[in-house]
Amino acid sequence: MSSKEMVKALNIFDVIKSRRSVRKFKDKDVSDEAVDKIIEAGVWAPSAGNLQSRDYIIVRDKEVIDELVDAAGQSFISDAPVIIVVCANMERSSQKYGDRGYNLYSIQDASAAIQNMLLTVHALNLSSCWIGAFNETQVSDILGIPSGVRPVAMLPIGHPDVEPNPPKRDSMEKFVHSEKW
């Protein structure tokens, strides 16, 4: 099946609203082709100065996945056949943008990629969950992440075994300010 055929014919708003964080996966593999497509979606996210200050680590090794599960203390992750760890490359961004690149743009570059990736996972009929709660030092040690690079999120990717109800969103009035705060 071509990657084009795998993408659901949904409009962007349908994809955004129907994406869910899924925490239960079927015992079924995710193809390398799908993983490539998901990373391609990350690569095409905007980034400060187009420096693309983010890196991706694909983890399929079961023993390494178990170590990552331990670092996150979230056992459901172990059911995913693949985890993509998205990192902020602070060093790369700081070369052009100094402290702002180091502390802010690199995290934003990684986050923009993550959201593109989550939407693409969903469009491919797969599921994931943004995992942000983990012991960062442990994850960096497990994956050999160099200094100047920070793991921002783990994305366990699999075939969904549940269809979660959408968690409620607050009304827009709570967050939207007209003209001034």
Which residues here bind ligand FMN, judged by CB under 6 A? 20-21, 23, 74, 129-133, 167
Work out how close the CB of 151 gets to ligand FMN at its nearest, in angstroms, rounded to a whole number.
12
Buried b (16+ CB within 10 A) or exposed e, 106-130: bbbbbbbbbebbbbbbbbbebbbbb
Work out how close the CB of 178 gets to ligand FMN at its nearest, in angstroms, rounded to a whole number.
26
Backbone angles phi, psi at 60, to 5 degrees: -120, -20
Closest residue to ligand FMN, judged by C-beta, is 132
* Nearer of residues 132 and 146 to ligand FMN, judged by Cβ: 132
Facing residues of 155 across strands? Answer: 84
The CA-atom distances, in angstroms, between 145 and each of 88, 136, 161, 169, 170 are: 11, 10, 32, 35, 37
Work out how close the CB of 138 gets to ligand FMN at its nearest, in angstroms, rounded to a whole number.
14
In 3D space, the residue among 142, 135, 150 whose CA is nearest the CA of residue 71 turns out to be: 135
Work out how close the CB of 32 gets to ligand FMN at its nearest, in angstroms, rounded to a whole number.
25
Work out how close the CB of 126 gets to ligand FMN at its nearest, in angstroms, rounded to a whole number.
14
Output Rg (C-alpha) for the chain, integer angstroms: 17
